[in-house]
Amino acid sequence: MALFSNKDQYDFGLISSADDVTIEARDLRKEASRSFWWETLRLIRDVFLIIVTFILIGVFFVQPVVVDGSSMLPQLHDGERLLVNKFIYYDVKNVSFGHLERGDIVVFWYPEDPSKSYVKRLIAFPGETVEIKEGKVFVNDVELIEPYISADHNHSRNPFPRTEVKNHTYFVMGDNRDNSADSRTWGFVPEKYIYGRAFFRYWKPQNIGFVRHADYPDGPPPPISDMRAGEPE
């Protein structure tokens, strides 16, 4: 039978930082408290930055609007919610979303009561001529083929005499030509009143998606040079 000799036995007592300089004593409760407040401050900072970002986006770039009425049928319906791109207000020519184009669905302050906003389609630019005959629109004496118009909403044959769009203004119309108060009745929209172009519909659920703008089969009539820049009114 093998015998094992007794070896030296060591008693282990309490360990303190004085036993070894490499030992670091920590108070876990204090560290947990410090970590909690640090994470809380970081969360507050992140929430603040998110709020500031959304405010800046809302002020300068994107704004929600509500469609009120049926003047843009069949494209837009009463009660739908849209996001509008406000970047066009700065007229950046080298990007498509930075300036106005013919056929855009634009949002603007109603010239006769700027406390109200209207949604219409941009038909003609400053310096161009507009005429309506037998329900057809002519821009610079060229017929504008409008695929967004429904025959169900375009029975009216009221003429509109050949008229030149004034400097710094635009000619707009609703797609529902039978039931739309627009430039045919109250005149042109000053450029400074146009504050956005609709680009996304986020309500109602069945119609969520990007808003389609005009896709002219033969291309739109080329616009006369936009008179925004530097010309006297």
- The yes-or-no answer on residue 156 being catalytic is no
**Nearest to 72, CA basis, from 231, 229, 179, 228:** 179
Given a contact cutoff of 8 angstroms between Cβ atoms, the answer to whether 108 and 195 are in contact is yes
Please classify residue 171 by burial: count the beta carbons closer than 10 Å to its beta carbon, then call 0-12 exposed, 13-18 middle and 19+ buried.
buried
Out of 30, 70, 115, 120, pick the active-site residue. 120
- Check residue 228 and report its DSSP letter: T
Q: Which two tokens stand for residue 63?
A: 């704004």
71 is catalytic: yes
Give the SS3 label for residue 97. helix
Catalytic residue among 71, 117, 180, 183: 71
Edge-to-edge strands, sheet with 136-139? 142-143, 136-139, 129-133, 160-164
**Residue 42, CB half-sphere, CA atoms under 13 Å: how many?**
6
Residues labelled catalytic: 71, 120
